[in-house]
Amino acid sequence: MATIAIVGAGPGLGFSIGKVFGQQGFEVALIARRRSTLDDMVGRLGELEIPAGGYQADIMDRASLVQAFKDIAANHSPVEVLEFSPAPRGPQPGLVLAGPLDVSVANVQPHIDFYVHGAITATGQVLPDMIERGTGTLLFTTGPSSVEPSPAMGNVGIACAALRNWVLNLHDTLASKGVYAAHVPLSLSADEADPETIAPHYWNLHTRGEGAEHLLSGDVLRAAPRTEES
Ligand SMILES: NC(=O)c1ccc[n+]([C@@H]2O[C@H](COP(=O)([O-])OP(=O)(O)OC[C@H]3O[C@@H](n4cnc5c(N)ncnc54)[C@H](OP(=O)(O)O)[C@@H]3O)[C@@H](O)[C@H]2O)c1
């Protein structure tokens, strides 16, 4: 068996991605801060006979994230897929939105910590083993401001664009090592943002292993087929 580790796993996209990969034979390791939500998701995956574990960690607390991956390594098969899609639901210290004229070092740094340093830390826990095995997939999800500047997301966009830049470089650098890395910007209206519709695309990205960036818009979701066979 292989494991998918989902960093920032909540009842929306994270859970649906876990379900899709679990139905394809993966173990599912979910990382988030709230124990109650993790337990609920692990229970729901268990009802589908998907082996799953919930690991409490805060992306802003690097040590807790590293520990979560140590626990995952102890409890699961090797991590074959890392999916990074945290969403700061509700207030989080420092994670505020600022327009271009209000951008400051103080309101950009937390987003860099969250998106860039979080992704680098998570990746560092699994990538050496992937390179050694010559196999693995790294998928990093952001919102549209990573590719399309949006004044309302003046500070967040800086961090998400930086994450994107790193991932595109990773893609090129890892191609010769058997590891697939891709950036997945979601650009969806509220009506289109159905996790159950979005999640199968992540399976398809993993199995195809092609392309440094896959923007998932409403048109893309409507045009694409559902989950392909492994
Ligand atoms: N309009 C669009 O284009 C669109 C639509 C939907 C989603 N998205 C993107 O898709 C991604 C996932 O969205 P979603 O809400 O459906 O995901 P989700 O998997 O339902 O939730 C993400 C989870 O991230 C966790 N999280 C937040 N802060 C964290 C932290 N500091 N450390 C660890 N975990 C943390 C939260 O759980 P805890 O609170 O328990 O930590 C939250 O439940 C995001 O990148 C979002 O921007 C974009």
Task: Report the separation in Å between the CA atom of 91 and the middle of ligand 1, taken as the mean of its atom positions.
Answer: 13
* CA-based nearest residue to 155, from 219, 88, 96, 224: 96
From the CA of 186, give the closest atom in ligand 1: 3
Pocket test for ligand 1, best of 121, 186, 189 (most atoms within 8 A of CB): 186
> In the prediction, which pLDDT does 223 show?
86
**Cα–Cα distance for residue pair 150/155, rounded to 1 Å:** 10
Which protein residues touch ligand 1 with a CB less than 6 Å away? 8-14, 32-34, 37, 57-60, 85-89, 141-144, 186-188, 193, 195
| Distance (Å) from CA 8 to ligand 1 centroid | 6
Ligand 1: centre distance to CA 3 (Å): 20
Report the pLDDT value the prediction gives residue 89, as an integer from 0 to 100: 74
> What is residue 227's predicted lDDT score, i.e. its pLDDT?
60
Q: What pLDDT, on the 0 to 100 scale, is given for residue 133? A: 98
pLDDT given for residue 229 in this prediction: 55
Tell me the CATH class for 3-223.
alpha beta
Residues of the chain with pLDDT under 70: 90, 225-230
**Rounded distance, CA 142 to CA 137, Å?**
17
Which residue ranges make up each domain of the chain? 3-223
